[in-house]
Amino acid sequence: MIRKIFGQDASPLLGLDISTSAVRLLALAATAKGYRVEASAHTRLPVGAVSEQAVVQIEVAGQAVADALQRSGSKRRHAALAVSGSQVISRQISMPAEFSDSEIEQQITLDSDQYIPYPLEDVYFDFVVMGANARNPETNDVLLIVARNEVIDKRLETLTLAGLTASVVDVEAYALESAFPLIASQLPEAASAGFTAMVDVGATSTTLSVLHGGAAVFTREQLFGGDQLLQQIQDRYGLAYPEAIVALHDNTLPDDSRNEVIAPFLDSMASQVARLLQVFFSATGESAIDSVVLSGGCAGLPGAAAAVGEYTGLDTRVGNPFLDIEFASKSEAARLRSDGHAWMVAAGLAMRSMNNVSR
């Protein structure tokens, strides 16, 4: 029996982003005008609970999710969650165009030693048919995604401890794709039909999802994130990790911090984004990007978009999925809109039950 990493559920889902530093939980609902935030909650994770994108302390992470669920007040109990691109293996394979989904599943299972570098019983896998192969229209390109059991199971256990069920397990880069409808109106007109680079800079990793007409055509991830900035703050000002987080978030760092630590970090971030885009250009043969959208905690640093835009020469802006959306609570609106850049993955996951997503 195929063990799928992806899924789909028609019932309203909670978008649950479990990152290295925090848990973000979001419930959206469709309205006549677009979407509405029904509930949300944010809980910071202790250092070490999630390390290198993997849940290490299941009970601690589970309690954080349970706390977020209680604070949100949501009655939903089915969630969409994501794993990072570094935790999965993705590869494009070819299948006869006449094959049904069940026949593709059977073929992957029969030829698993060709496609999957682990015993079949040790993995979850799923696929999406991308369309006809450009060189051979008698075959379809199929994107195969594989994850080790331990990667998925630890997150599933975390949800179980919080009283939740995972209906969808996605990959963070594709969650960014799902969030695109929430930010499309904020972008230049060319972005709707052209190439948009969505770049999420988190605590330990940076995820790139290049969209063409709103659909992901290229994804990549590399190790770079806000923890490097926090380490520099700790070293320069003698702060403990939690103190560095608070000082950065509350803007209470010494006056020289802008020039001494933040500006150099933004330069490094811009260089990393440019490097990721160059990988896209080299791999695809494309030569232009219409717009860059930054998200993740680091996107909120003053001057982040300007630094990336100056370095890359591209239209760059900070994405916020809550700018053109309704809210059930006015107080929640102010809080989320001020920090919307950090909620892009959670928003994309919350959209999974409302978008026509083939994965």
Domain match, 113 and 260 both: no
| Residue 199 within any structural domain of the chain | yes
Q: Please compute the mean of the pLDDT values over residues 138-145 and round it to a whole number.
A: 94
Are 143 and 155 found together in one domain?
no
Question: Could you tell me the CA-to-CA distances from 136 to 99, 108, 129 in Å, in that order?
Answer: 15, 20, 15
Cα-flanking dihedrals φ and ψ of residue 41, to 5°? Answer: -165, 150
3-state secondary structure of 211: strand
Residues 92, 104 share a domain: yes
pLDDT one-digit tens code per residue, 12-24: 899 999 999 899 9
- The reply to whether 241 falls in a domain is no
Q: How far apart are the first and last CA of the chain?
A: 18
Q: Do residues 154 and 23 both lie within one domain?
A: yes
> What is the band of 2 on the pLDDT scale with cuts at 50, 70, 90?
very low
H or E element that contains 30: strand 22-30
pLDDT (tens digit per residue) in 110-132? 999 999 999 999 999 999 898 99
Query: Both 128 and 179 in a single domain?
Result: no
236: in domain: no
Q: Which of 129, 149, 169 is the last residue of a domain?
A: 149
Judge residue 135's burial from the number of C-beta atoms within 10 Å of its C-beta, 0-12 exposed, 13-18 middle, 19 or more buried. exposed
Q: Give the integer Cα–Cα distance in Å for 337 and 318.
A: 12
Q: Tokens at residue 181, please?
A: 């409808």
Domain final residue pick, 133, 149, 165: 149
In a domain, 70, yes or no: yes
Query: The tokens of 328 are what?
Result: 């059930």
| pLDDT at position 354 over 90 | no
Give the CATH number, domain containing residue 180.
Answer: 3.30.420.40
Residues 122 and 96 in one domain: yes
Total domains in the fold of the chain: 2
By the 8 A CB rule, do 162 and 69 touch? yes
Domain contains 3 = no
DSSP 134-202: SS-TTEEEEEEEEEEHHHHHHHHHHHHHTT-EEEEEEEHHHHHHHHHHHHGGGS-GGGGTSEEEEEEE-
Which amino acid is residue 337, in one-letter code?
R
* Model pLDDT for residues 214-253, shown as the tens digit of each residue: 889 999 999 999 999 999 999 999 999 889 999 998 889 9
| Radius of gyration from C-alpha coordinates of the chain | 20
> Is residue 7 domain-resident?
no
End-of-domain residue from the set 105, 129, 149: 149
Which residue, chain included where needed, has tokens 């000082």?
247
- Whether 4 shows a pLDDT value over 60: the answer reads no
Average per-residue pLDDT for the chain = 92
Specify the pLDDT at position 3: 44
User: What single-letter amino acid sits at 148?
Assistant: R
pLDDT for the residue 9? 53
Do 141 and 274 reside in the same domain of the chain?
no
Query: If you average pLDDT over residues 318-344, what whole number do you get?
Result: 91
Comparing C-alpha atoms, which of 213, 259, 216, 202 is closest to residue 236? Answer: 259
3-state secondary structure of 345: helix
Same domain, 166 and 104: no
- What's the CA gap between 63 and 184, in Å, rounded? 35
In a domain, 206, yes or no: yes
> 329 and 186, same structural domain?
yes
Residue with tokens 């799923």: 126
Are 219 and 285 in the same domain?
A: yes
Biggest distance spanned by C-alpha atoms of the chain? 65
pLDDT band at 6 (very low <50, low <70, confident <90, very high): low
> DSSP string covering 277-342, please?
HHHHHHHH-----SEEEEESGGGGSTTHHHHHHHHH-S-EEE--TTTT-EES-HHHHHHHHHSGGG
Based on the fold, state whether residues 145 and 20 are members of the same structural domain: no
- pTM equals 0.92
Q: Which of 85, 61, 21 is nearest to 227 (CA)?
A: 21
Give the domain extent around 269.
Answer: 14-86+150-231+255-353
**Does 5 fall in a domain?**
no
Q: What is the pLDDT of residues 177-193, one digit of tens each?
A: 999 999 999 998 877 78
CATH number, domain with residue 124: 3.30.1490.300
Tell whether 172 and 277 lie within a shared domain: yes
Contacts of 262 (CB under 8 A, 6+ apart): 229, 301, 302, 303
